[in-house]
Structure 1
Amino acid sequence: MPKSQADQCGPFLRLLEAQLQDQRREHEKEVEALKNQVDAMNEELEKQQQAFLQTLQLSPEAQVEFGLQQEITRLTNENLDLKELLEKLEKNEKKLKKQLKIYMKKVQDFEASQGTVPAERRQHKLGNMQVAVQRKEKDFQGMLEYYKEDEPLLIRNLITDLKPQAVSATVPCLPAYILYMCIRHADYINDDQKVHSLLTSTINGIKKVLKKHNDDFQMTSFWLANTCRLLHCLKQYSGDAGFMTQNTPKQNEHCLKNFDLTEYRQVLSHLSIQIYQQLIKIAEGILQPMIVSAVLENESIQGLSGVKPMGYRNRSSSTADDDSSYSLDSVIRQLNTFHSIMCDQGLDPEIVQQVFRQLFYMINAVALNNLLLRKDVCSWSTGMQLRFNISQLEEWLHGKNLQQSGAAQTLEPLIQAAQLLQLKKKTSEDAEAICSLCTSLTTQQIVKILNLYTPVNEFEERVTVAFIRDIQMHLQERNDPPQLLLDFKHMFPVLFPFNPSSITMDSIHLPAALNLEFLNKV
Structure 2
Amino acid sequence: MEFYYVDQAIMHQIMSELLCIIGVTAFNNIIMRRNFCSWKRGMQIQYNLTRIEEWCKAHSVSDTMRNLDRLLQLIKLLQLQKSTEQDIDIMFDVCDLLNPAQIKKLLSIYAVSDYENPIIGPVMNEVSRRASPTDKTDKMLLDSNDLSEQVLYLTARKVPAIETYIPPEFRIPRIRAPVDSQTDMAYDEEDEEAMGNHMDEYNDYDAFNQGVPAGNY
Q: Which TM-score tier does this pair reach, normalised by the shorter chain? A: 0.5 to 0.7
Give the corresponding residue for 1:181.
none
Q: TM-score, normalised by structure 1?
A: 0.30
Deviations 1:81-106 (A, max 9, x none): xxxxxxxxxxxxxxxxxxxxxxxxxx
Which of residues 402, 408, 411 is equivalent to 2:68?
411
User: Do 1:361 and 1:488's aligned partners in 2 also have CA atoms closer than 8 Å?
Assistant: yes
Give the corresponding residue for 1:451.
108
Local SS of the residue matching 1:344 = coil
Distance in structure 1 (CA, Å) of the matches to 2:136 and 2:8: 35
Deviations 1:244-280 (A, max 9, x none): xxxxxxxxxxxxxxxxxxxxxxxxxxxxxxxxxxxxx
Distance in structure 1 (CA, Å) of the matches to 2:51 and 2:6: 25
5 Å-filtered alignment, 1:231-380, equals: 340=1, 343-380=2-39
Deviation of the 1:514 alpha carbon: 2.8
Deviation of the 1:426 alpha carbon: 2.2
Distance in structure 1 (CA, Å) of the matches to 2:41 and 2:170: 54
Q: Does 1:383 align with 2:42?
A: yes
User: 1:431 corresponds to which letter in structure 2?
Assistant: I
Local SS of the residue matching 2:170 = helix
Q: Relative to 1, partners in 2 of residues 1:511 and 1:444: Cα closer, same or farther, differing over 3 Å?
A: same
Aligned length: 175
Q: Relative to 1, partners in 2 of residues 1:468 and 1:491: Cα closer, same or farther, differing over 3 Å?
A: closer
Distance in structure 1 (CA, Å) of the matches to 2:21 and 2:168: 40
Q: Does 1:497 align with 2:175?
A: no
Q: Does 1:466 align with 2:125?
A: no
Give the corresponding residue for 1:424.
81
Deviation of the 1:422 alpha carbon: 1.4
Give the corresponding residue for 2:60.
401
Distance in structure 1 (CA, Å) of the matches to 2:74 and 2:7: 34
Deviation of the 1:508 alpha carbon: 4.7
Deviation of the 1:465 alpha carbon: 3.3
Local SS of the residue matching 1:501 = coil
User: Do 2:9 and 2:157's aligned partners in 1 also have CA atoms closer than 8 Å?
Assistant: no
User: Do 1:443 and 1:480's aligned partners in 2 also have CA atoms closer than 8 Å?
Assistant: no
Q: Does 1:482 align with 2:141?
A: no
Deviation of the 1:424 alpha carbon: 1.0
Distance in structure 1 (CA, Å) of the matches to 2:100 and 2:69: 15
Distance in structure 1 (CA, Å) of the matches to 2:98 and 2:172: 57
Where structure 1 has 5 or more consecutive residues not aligned to the other structure, the ranges are 1-339
Deviations 1:214-273 (A, max 9, x none): xxxxxxxxxxxxxxxxxxxxxxxxxxxxxxxxxxxxxxxxxxxxxxxxxxxxxxxxxxxx
User: 1:349 corresponds to which letter in structure 2?
Assistant: Q
Distance in structure 2 (CA, Å) of the matches to 1:401 and 1:515: 32
Local SS of the residue matching 1:409 = helix
User: Do 2:101 and 2:131's aligned partners in 1 also have CA atoms closer than 8 Å?
Assistant: no
Deviation of the 1:481 alpha carbon: 4.4
Deviation of the 1:513 alpha carbon: 3.2
Give the corresponding residue for 2:203.
none
Local SS of the residue matching 2:153 = coil
User: Do 1:360 and 1:408's aligned partners in 2 also have CA atoms closer than 8 Å?
Assistant: yes
Give the corresponding residue for 2:51.
392
Q: Relative to 1, partners in 2 of residues 1:499 and 1:423: Cα closer, same or farther, differing over 3 Å?
A: same
Deviation of the 1:346 alpha carbon: 3.6
Distance in structure 1 (CA, Å) of the matches to 2:123 and 2:109: 14
Deviation of the 1:469 alpha carbon: 2.7
User: 1:408 corresponds to which letter in structure 2?
Assistant: M
Local SS of the residue matching 1:514 = coil
Deviation of the 1:510 alpha carbon: 5.8
Deviations 1:443-484 (A, max 9, x none): 121111100111111x53332332123234456677894221
User: Do 1:432 and 1:471's aligned partners in 2 also have CA atoms closer than 8 Å?
Assistant: no
RMSD: 3.2
Q: TM-score, normalised by structure 2?
A: 0.67
User: Do 1:358 and 1:491's aligned partners in 2 also have CA atoms closer than 8 Å?
Assistant: no
User: 2:153 corresponds to which letter in structure 1?
Assistant: L
Distance in structure 1 (CA, Å) of the matches to 2:147 and 2:95: 24
Higher relative contact order (CA 8 A, sep 6+): 2
Distance in structure 1 (CA, Å) of the matches to 2:82 and 2:19: 29
Deviation of the 1:441 alpha carbon: 1.4
User: 2:100 corresponds to which letter in structure 1?
Assistant: T
Distance in structure 2 (CA, Å) of the matches to 1:393 and 1:434: 25
Q: Relative to 1, partners in 2 of residues 1:431 and 1:494: Cα closer, same or farther, differing over 3 Å?
A: closer
5 Å-filtered alignment, 1:14-413, equals: 340=1, 343-404=2-63, 407-413=64-70
